[in-house]
Amino acid sequence: MKIAFLGFGEAARAFHDSLAPTLDDAEFRAYDLLLSRVESAEEMRVAMTSRGVRPMDSAAGLADAEWIFSAVTADQSLKAAQSVAPHLGQGALFIDINSVSPGRKRETAALLDGTGADYLDMAVMAPVHPKGHATPILLAGKTATELLERFRGLGFNADLAGETPGSATAIKMVRSVFVKGLEAITVEALLAAEASGCFEEIFSSLSQSFPGLDWSRFPDYQFERTTRHGRRRAAEMRESGATLDALGLNGGIARETAAIQDAMAASGVKPTGDLRDTVARVLAARRGAK
């Protein structure tokens, strides 16, 4: 079996690392734009070859794979599909795991219609570590029902979302309004508390009002996720904004969340495990950037 990755970042690597041991005779290959950039080519090539994944010079090199996982940044998802679509043929399965709006996935599915390849909307519903391809996923598309048991047989924790592309990602995009929004609200409130000189009072009040969040760990986790993965999460939230706009709702709330996620990533702060110290350093960095 030939399996390919279009984009070889965190999600693709996690899927490969857990899936490869279950497929003794599989051949893996990948293409990533970073292979074409001098400053990142060597690091990306090593990430692939060290895993037994064959680097390709272009997306065209993925065309004869049975499965092609598209795992790029949200803003590149349609362009990635466009790069490989002319080379696809009968029997290929294009698996779109990108965190984008339902409209974007329907547009991508329409792009592939007529190529002979099948399109599958796959939504990854939790962080890919530590479970890799066993992370909960949702599937949508005309072949989703018939593929469900095959995916489950390979260890995917998969459920059906529907037969229409976009049905799976819709669930993720709407859920992310809350999940990533809660991250943004938490970090921004604690930064404001520190800036106002009332951190202890705010922290105590929130701990008492929302004890189920476990404030001994919860805020540290929010700072770790936003500083480490803020840029990727911001891209996802802009897609959530597009999702809400298309529903006639307020996509602005998701875009404001994206702005906070971007700012947290841009701070460059690495949390130390000391919440107050992390808050102070992020606050200084955020202020210094203005």
- How confident is the model over 229-271, as pLDDT tens digits? 999 999 999 999 999 999 999 999 999 999 999 999 999 999 9
Give the CATH number of domain 2-165; options: 3.40.50.720, 3.40.50.300, 3.40.50.2300, 3.30.70.270.
3.40.50.720
Confidence label for 24 from pLDDT (cuts 50, 70 and 90): confident
Asked if residue 290 has pLDDT above 80, the reply is: no
Q: What percent of the chain has pLDDT over 90?
A: 95
Per the CB < 8 A criterion, the answer to whether 52 and 21 are in contact is: no
Beta bridge partners of 140: 121, 162
How confident is the model at residue 118, as a pLDDT? 96
Reported as type and span, the H/E element at residue 228 is: helix 218-246
Q: Between helices 77-84 and 102-112, what is the axis angle to 10°?
A: 10
Task: Give residue limits of the domains in the chain.
Answer: 2-165, 170-288
**Residue 136 tokens, joined:** 């909960």
Question: In CATH, what number does 170-288 get?
Answer: 1.10.1040.10
Asked if residue 196 has pLDDT above 80, the reply is: yes
Alpha-carbon span 151 to 158, nearest angstrom: 7
* Model confidence, pTM: 0.93
